[in-house]
Structure 1
Amino acid sequence: MDVLGGGGGRGAPWRKMSKEELENQYSPSRWVVRRGAEEAMRTYSQIGDEATKKARATGRILLDVPYGDGEGEKMDIYFPEEVSEALPFLVFFHGGYWQSGSKDTSAFMVSPLTAQGVAVVIVAYDIAPKGTLDKMVDQVTRSVASVQKQYPGNRGIHLCGHSAGAHLAAMMLLANWTKLGVTPNLKGLFLVSGIYDLEPVMHTSENAPLLVTLEDARRNSPQWHLEMAPAQPADPGCRVLVIVGQHDSPEFHRQSREFYEALRRGSWEASFEELRDVDHFEILWNLTQKDYVLTQIILKTIFQES
C-alpha cells in the first residue's frame, strides 16, 4: 500500500513506500550498526549528559540566559578562557524529532570548541506537544537575533543543528530578520543529519505529538520554500555545509542531498559531506572529540570565515 499525498519533493520516492517502510526510514535508531536501538539511545543521552556536566564544570558559563519571555526560552552560553569583544559564536539546536531533547544534555561540542576560542550557545525551545513547529521556528529565530543583539561585535555567528535541530537551523536561511530589528552576522551553517521536507514525517508515528498538517509541513519545510520561491543569500559569503552519516537511512541521505542541490540552484555557497562509518547518533556524539573530522571541519570553517 503506497502512502498517499500530493506535491513535494523532486521525484518524491517516499510516496511509493508502504507505511511500514516509511516508518523504518524515519526511525534513525533502526539504522545503528554497532549497538542495538535502545543501547544507542542510552549511549547518546549518557554522552550528552557527561559532556554538558564537563563543560559546566570547567568553563566560563552563563546559564539560562533568556532570549524571550517564555519559560522555555533560554540559552546557555559557554565562553573560551580568553574572552574578547570579538568572539566567533557557534549556536546549536538539539535534535529529538521536535519532541524530546534538552539544552541541558546537548553540550557535545562545547569543550573542543571553547578550547580553540569559540563561544558556544546551546538553545532551548518548546518541544511538542507544548510547542508547535511554527513556535519552535520563531523561538530559534529570536534566539539567534538575541545573540547578535547581546554580542554585536562578534566575529561571526555559525549555526549548527542535528536532526530536527538541523531543520530549525535551515529555516534560519528563510528568516525575516527585519521584523526583529537586527540582522545576525551569519557566516555559516552546519546541518547535521537533518530533515528538510517535513511532509513524509506526517505519515509516520513521529507526527502523533506534532499534529503537523500538510499546510504546516510546507510552511515549515526549507526544501519546499527553496523549490517554490528560491531565497537568495543575504550574505554571499555565508557557507552552508549539509552533512550526513554513512549509516543514516537512505531517506535521510536523500533529504540531505536534495536540500544541498536546492541550495546550489539558489546560488548559496553550499557543500555536501558524507561522514564515513558513523550513524545518526555517532555523528553528533563524536563532537566531544577534538580530533574528530566534523570537529575539525567546524573549526576550519569558523576560522576561515572569522
Structure 2
Amino acid sequence: MSAHPTLAHLARLAELPSQDPAFYAHAYNNRALVPDHPEHMARWAADSALVRARVTFREGLGYGDPSSPQAESETLDYFPAVTSIDFARPPLLVFIHGGYFRSLDKSDHSFVATQLPRKGVSVAVVNYSLCPAVSVETIVRQVLQSVAWLYRQADLLGHDRDRIYIAGHSVGGHLVAMLMAALWPQLGDDLPADLIKGGVSISGLYDLEPLRRAAFLQTDLKLSEADVARLSPAYLKPATNAPFITAVGEIESSEFHRQNALIRAAWPDNVREDVPLPGRHHFNAMDDLAREGTPLLRAILAMVGAV
C-alpha cells in the first residue's frame, strides 16, 4: 500500500502546467506525436482479426435496452477462457478501448484476448457510442451498464460474477477509474458495492480539464466545467480498496505522465503497482497485453489470480 500523499503534493500534481491552449493541443495530440501511428493502428486491426478468426467467441452481444437510440453501439464481444486454472468458473477481464471518446471500436481491440483466454481468463471487449453524437457522461453510463449486464449474465456466459476485473487504454483508463468509483448498489439493488475486484489503466486520463482546453478535442467532447468536476476520477473517491494497477509509456508526453502520477497520489489505498513500459509511446503501450511473459501481462494475471 502506498503512503498517503500530502495535500500540497496533490495540489502540485493537480495544478495545470500551462494556461496556453496550444500546450494541451500539442501534449494530447498523440497522433501528431507518433507520426507512424497508422501502422500501429493497422496492426491492432490485423492482430484483432487474427484472434477473431482463430477462436470461438460471441460477437455483438447487446448490453443495453434494444429500443434505445444507441442500441447499435451498446454491444460487446465475449472471448471465453479456453483453459481452466481450477475447478471454479474463470475470472472475467472487461476491456474498454480508447479513442478520446470519439473514435475506435471494440473490433480494433480483440487482440487483448490473444493471451488471457489461454491463461484461464475470459475477456469482454466493450463498445460504446461516440462523441459528438452523445456526451461523455452518456458514455460513462453505457460502460457502467455494460459491466452490470456482465455481472447479471455470468451464469449464461460462464464466468465468475465475483471475479470481475476491468482494464482500459487512454480514455478507456479514465472509464476504468470511473467504474472503480461507481456506487453500484445505487445502480441496482442486486449489484454489490465491490462488484469490481480490480482495475488496470494503461496511459489513462483522470482529470478531463486539459481535454476541455484542447480545441481539437473540445470540438467533439463539448465538456463543461461541471462535466470536468463530475467526471474526473482524480477528484472522486474509489468505492472500495480494490487494487488498481497503472502503466504509462516511457516516451509518452509529460501530460500523460502527470495524469498517471495524479491518480496514484489521489488513490493511495488502491494503487498496487505502476508497471514500467520502457521505450513505449501511446500506440504501442498496449503491446505487452498480447505477449507471453511480459511485466504487464504478469501483473494482470497476478491481479485476477490466474498464476
Structure 2: segments with no counterpart, 5+ residues: 1-9, 66-70
Output the CA distance in 2 between the equivalents of 1:246 and 1:269: 19
Partner of 2:79: 78
Partner of 2:138: 135
Partner of 2:200: 190
Please give the secondary structure, in 1, of the residue aligned with 2:247: strand
**TM-score of the superposed pair, with normalisation by structure 2:** 0.85
Output the CA distance in 1 between the equivalents of 2:53 and 2:129: 26
**Residue deviations 1:77-98, cap 9 Å, x none?**
0012247761111100000000
Contact 1:47/1:285 (CA < 8 Å) preserved in 2?
Answer: no
Output the CA distance in 2 between the equivalents of 1:66 and 1:207: 29
Q: Look up the equivalent residue of 1:57 and give its one-letter code.
A: A
Q: Look up the equivalent residue of 1:211 and give its one-letter code.
A: K
1:119 paired to 2:122: yes
Output the CA distance in 2 between the equivalents of 1:30 and 1:293: 28
Contact 1:93/1:124 (CA < 8 Å) preserved in 2?
Answer: yes
Identity among equivalent pairs (%)? 27
1:58-73 equivalences under 5 Å are 58-69=54-65, 70-73=71-74
How far did 1:13 drift? Answer: 4.3
How far did 1:155 drift? Answer: 5.5
Q: Look up the equivalent residue of 2:246 and give its one-letter code.
A: V
Output the CA distance in 2 between the equivalents of 1:109 and 1:125: 17
Label 1:189 to 1:268 Cα distance change in 2 as closer, same or farther (>3 A): same
**Residue deviations 1:199-243, cap 9 Å, x none?**
111110211111111111111110122xxxx3451xx4x210121
Label 1:57 to 1:155 Cα distance change in 2 as closer, same or farther (>3 A): farther
How far did 1:194 drift? Answer: 0.9
1:278-297 equivalences under 5 Å are 278-297=280-299
Please give the secondary structure, in 1, of the residue aligned with 2:123: strand
The match for 2:168 among 137, 158, 161 is 161
Q: Look up the equivalent residue of 1:150 and give its one-letter code.
A: Q
How far did 1:272 drift? Answer: 2.4
1:47 paired to 2:43: yes
Partner of 1:4: none
Please give the secondary structure, in 2, of the residue aligned with 1:200: helix
Q: Look up the equivalent residue of 2:208 and give its one-letter code.
A: L
**Residue deviations 1:83-125, cap 9 Å, x none?**
7761111100000000001001111220111111111100000
**TM-score of the superposed pair, with normalisation by structure 1:** 0.86
Q: Identify the range of structure 1 (285-294 vs 189-198) with the bigger mean alpha-carbon deviation.
A: 285-294
The match for 2:109 among 106, 116, 130 is 106
Output the CA distance in 1 between the equivalents of 2:95 and 2:227: 24
Output the CA distance in 1 between the equivalents of 2:40 and 2:288: 10
Q: Identify the range of structure 1 (62-71 vs 15-24) with the bigger mean alpha-carbon deviation.
A: 15-24
Output the CA distance in 1 between the equivalents of 2:117 and 2:162: 14
Please give the secondary structure, in 1, of the residue aligned with 2:168: strand
Output the CA distance in 1 between the equivalents of 2:17 and 2:81: 47
1:94 paired to 2:97: yes
Output the CA distance in 2 between the equivalents of 1:81 and 1:253: 36
Contact 2:94/2:165 (CA < 8 Å) preserved in 1?
Answer: yes
Please give the secondary structure, in 2, of the residue aligned with 1:209: helix
Output the CA distance in 1 between the equivalents of 2:165 and 2:200: 8
Label 1:60 to 1:185 Cα distance change in 2 as closer, same or farther (>3 A): farther
Contact 1:91/1:122 (CA < 8 Å) preserved in 2?
Answer: yes
Q: Look up the equivalent residue of 1:104 and give its one-letter code.
A: S
Please give the secondary structure, in 2, of the residue aligned with 1:188: strand
Label 1:78 to 1:30 Cα distance change in 2 as closer, same or farther (>3 A): same
Please give the secondary structure, in 2, of the residue aligned with 1:273: strand
Contact 1:232/1:268 (CA < 8 Å) preserved in 2?
Answer: no
How far did 1:56 drift? Answer: 1.3
How far did 1:269 drift? Answer: 4.5
Output the CA distance in 2 between the equivalents of 1:192 and 1:14: 21
Aligned residue-pair number: 282
The match for 2:211 among 190, 201, 208 is 201
Partner of 1:6: none
Structure 1: segments with no counterpart, 5+ residues: 1-8
Contact 1:51/1:288 (CA < 8 Å) preserved in 2?
Answer: no
